[in-house]
Protein backbone atom coordinates (compact mmCIF):
# COMPACT_ATOMS: atom_id res chain seq x y z
CA UNK A 1 0.00 0.00 0.00
CA UNK A 2 1.34 3.42 -0.90
CA UNK A 3 0.97 6.55 1.18
CA UNK A 4 -1.64 7.81 -1.25
CA UNK A 5 -3.69 4.63 -0.81
CA UNK A 6 -3.61 4.95 2.98
CA UNK A 7 -5.93 7.08 5.09
CA UNK A 8 -3.22 9.60 6.02
CA UNK A 9 -3.96 12.00 3.13
CA UNK A 10 -7.49 12.35 4.49
CA UNK A 11 -6.12 13.32 7.89
CA UNK A 12 -3.86 15.92 6.27
CA UNK A 13 -6.83 17.36 4.33
CA UNK A 14 -8.85 17.58 7.55
CA UNK A 15 -6.00 19.41 9.26
CA UNK A 16 -5.69 21.76 6.28
CA UNK A 17 -9.42 22.56 6.52
CA UNK A 18 -9.03 23.37 10.22
CA UNK A 19 -5.97 25.55 9.48
CA UNK A 20 -8.01 27.61 7.02
CA UNK A 21 -11.12 27.93 9.18
CA UNK A 22 -10.10 28.27 12.84
CA UNK A 23 -7.84 30.56 14.90
CA UNK A 24 -4.31 29.30 15.73
CA UNK A 25 -5.17 28.20 19.29
CA UNK A 26 -7.98 25.96 18.00
CA UNK A 27 -5.64 24.50 15.37
CA UNK A 28 -3.19 23.60 18.15
CA UNK A 29 -5.98 21.92 20.17
CA UNK A 30 -6.98 19.96 17.09
CA UNK A 31 -3.42 18.85 16.32
CA UNK A 32 -2.89 17.72 19.94
CA UNK A 33 -6.13 15.74 19.91
CA UNK A 34 -5.19 14.23 16.54
CA UNK A 35 -1.84 13.08 17.95
CA UNK A 36 -3.45 11.79 21.15
CA UNK A 37 -6.00 9.69 19.29
CA UNK A 38 -3.40 8.47 16.80
CA UNK A 39 -1.18 7.28 19.67
CA UNK A 40 -4.16 5.44 21.13
CA UNK A 41 -5.14 3.71 17.86
CA UNK A 42 -2.22 3.97 15.38
CA UNK A 43 -3.49 1.12 13.24
CA UNK A 44 -6.67 3.04 12.38
CA UNK A 45 -5.77 6.50 10.98
CA UNK A 46 -9.16 6.73 9.26
CA UNK A 47 -10.91 6.41 12.62
CA UNK A 48 -8.81 9.29 13.93
CA UNK A 49 -10.40 11.42 11.23
CA UNK A 50 -13.88 10.14 12.06
CA UNK A 51 -13.46 11.04 15.73
CA UNK A 52 -11.98 14.44 14.93
CA UNK A 53 -14.91 15.21 12.66
CA UNK A 54 -16.89 15.53 15.90
CA UNK A 55 -14.32 17.56 17.84
CA UNK A 56 -16.06 20.93 17.40
CA UNK A 57 -19.69 21.05 18.53
CA UNK A 58 -22.13 23.94 18.67
CA UNK A 59 -22.73 25.21 22.17
CA UNK A 60 -26.24 26.53 22.93
CA UNK A 61 -26.20 30.15 24.12
CA UNK A 62 -28.47 29.31 27.07
CA UNK A 63 -26.52 26.24 28.24
CA UNK A 64 -23.00 27.08 29.41
CA UNK A 65 -20.22 24.51 29.08
CA UNK A 66 -18.05 23.84 32.15
CA UNK A 67 -15.61 26.55 33.20
CA UNK A 68 -12.28 26.01 31.47
CA UNK A 69 -13.89 24.50 28.37
CA UNK A 70 -12.09 25.25 25.12
CA UNK A 71 -14.29 27.51 22.99
CA UNK A 72 -14.27 29.13 19.58
CA UNK A 73 -16.49 32.21 19.49
CA UNK A 74 -17.68 33.29 16.05
CA UNK A 75 -18.79 36.94 16.12
CA UNK A 76 -21.35 38.24 13.66
CA UNK A 77 -18.59 40.46 12.26
CA UNK A 78 -14.85 39.92 12.44
CA UNK A 79 -12.49 37.04 13.13
CA UNK A 80 -13.27 34.14 15.48
CA UNK A 81 -11.59 33.97 18.89
CA UNK A 82 -10.41 30.81 20.64
CA UNK A 83 -9.73 30.39 24.33
CA UNK A 84 -10.72 28.84 27.64
CA UNK A 85 -14.07 29.79 29.11
CA UNK A 86 -13.57 31.96 32.19
CA UNK A 87 -17.11 33.35 32.67
CA UNK A 88 -20.57 32.91 31.17
CA UNK A 89 -23.64 35.04 31.85
CA UNK A 90 -26.93 35.76 30.12
CA UNK A 91 -25.34 38.62 28.21
CA UNK A 92 -21.59 37.92 27.99
CA UNK A 93 -19.11 35.15 27.25
CA UNK A 94 -15.63 35.70 28.64
CA UNK A 95 -12.65 33.69 27.42
CA UNK A 96 -8.94 33.65 28.17
CA UNK A 97 -7.15 33.89 24.84
CA UNK A 98 -3.82 32.01 24.90
CA UNK A 99 -0.69 33.91 24.00
CA UNK A 100 -2.23 37.32 24.70
CA UNK A 101 -0.74 39.54 27.43
CA UNK A 102 -2.50 39.03 30.76
CA UNK A 103 -4.15 42.44 30.59
CA UNK A 104 -5.59 41.75 27.15
CA UNK A 105 -5.85 37.96 27.36
CA UNK A 106 -9.30 37.95 28.97
CA UNK A 107 -11.87 38.94 26.37
CA UNK A 108 -15.53 39.72 27.08
CA UNK A 109 -17.82 39.15 24.12
CA UNK A 110 -21.47 40.27 24.23
CA UNK A 111 -23.72 37.39 23.20
CA UNK A 112 -25.76 39.80 21.09
CA UNK A 113 -22.75 40.08 18.77
CA UNK A 114 -22.11 36.34 18.57
CA UNK A 115 -23.16 34.19 15.63
CA UNK A 116 -21.96 30.83 17.00
CA UNK A 117 -20.06 29.35 19.91
CA UNK A 118 -18.32 26.02 19.43
CA UNK A 119 -16.87 23.83 22.15
CA UNK A 120 -13.77 21.80 21.37
CA UNK A 121 -13.97 18.27 22.75
CA UNK A 122 -10.83 16.65 24.13
CA UNK A 123 -12.52 13.28 24.62
CA UNK A 124 -13.63 12.42 21.10
CA UNK A 125 -12.28 8.88 21.05
CA UNK A 126 -13.69 8.05 24.48
CA UNK A 127 -17.06 9.64 23.69
CA UNK A 128 -17.65 8.39 20.17
CA UNK A 129 -15.71 5.12 20.02
CA UNK A 130 -15.20 3.85 23.58
CA UNK A 131 -14.59 0.28 22.39
CA UNK A 132 -11.31 1.49 20.87
CA UNK A 133 -9.93 2.76 24.17
CA UNK A 134 -7.62 -0.18 24.82
CA UNK A 135 -4.99 1.39 27.03
CA UNK A 136 -6.05 3.56 29.92
CA UNK A 137 -2.52 5.04 29.95
CA UNK A 138 -3.06 6.87 26.65
CA UNK A 139 -1.27 10.26 26.74
CA UNK A 140 -3.26 12.60 28.95
CA UNK A 141 -5.52 15.21 27.41
CA UNK A 142 -4.36 18.79 27.70
CA UNK A 143 -7.01 21.04 29.04
- Of the listed ranges 28-37, 38-47, 66-75, 86-95, the least confidently predicted one is 38-47
Convert the pLDDT of each residue in 71-124 to its tens digit.
Answer: 999 999 999 999 999 999 999 999 998 876 666 678 899 999 999 999 999 998
Length in residues, the chain: 143
Convert the pLDDT of each residue in 128-138 to its tens digit.
Answer: 888 877 766 55
Per-residue pLDDT at 143: 45
Report the distance separating Cα 80 and Cα 18, nearest Å: 13
Per DSSP (E only), the strands in 9-105 are 56-58, 70-75, 81-88, 92-96
Per-residue pLDDT at 25: 93
Q: 123 vs 27, 46, 98, CA distance in Å?
A: 16, 17, 21
Convert the pLDDT of each residue in 53-69 to its tens digit.
Answer: 899 999 999 999 999 99
Report the distance separating Cα 82 and Cα 24, nearest Å: 8
Q: 82 vs 9, 113, 141, CA distance in Å?
A: 26, 16, 18
Domains and CATH numbers, the chain: 8-132 (2.30.30.100)
Amino acid sequence: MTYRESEFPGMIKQLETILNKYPPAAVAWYAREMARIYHAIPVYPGLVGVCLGKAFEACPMDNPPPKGALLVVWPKHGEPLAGKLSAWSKAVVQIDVPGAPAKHGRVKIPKSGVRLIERFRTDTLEAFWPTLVFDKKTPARRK
